[in-house]
Amino acid sequence: MYGAETGRYRFIVKEGRAEEGGGNHPPVTLALEPAGEQIGVLREGHLSLRLAPGFTVEQARELARRLNDVVTSVAFVKY
């Protein structure tokens, strides 16, 4: 049975510890933070996107800003 849920989220930048990045640079991630209606499967956790090594916090903030401008909702589809 197919089913779909949508929710409203915004992208925020998170910076980890250097040792998590496997070198001198901490990993940078974009996390989805609830901004309204949530997707059921994400109520007990969170979703984040780990960016490529060398991606700076400033670049991540710009990417988050752009995504927040154009992404209207996030969907989860169950097959």
For the chain, give the number of residues.
Answer: 79
Q: Which pLDDT tens digit goes with each residue over 15-50?
A: 987 665 556 667 899 999 999 999 998 999 999 999
Residue tagged 């409203």 (tokens)? 8
Provide the token pair at 42.
């994400």
**Count: domains in the chain:** 1
Model pTM? Answer: 0.83
pLDDT tens digit sequence for 51-79: 998 899 999 999 999 999 999 999 999 88
**% helix / strand / coil in the chain, to the nearest 5?**
25, 35, 40
The Cβ of residue 44 has, within 10 Å, a number of other Cβ atoms equal to 6
For 66, the domain range is 3-78
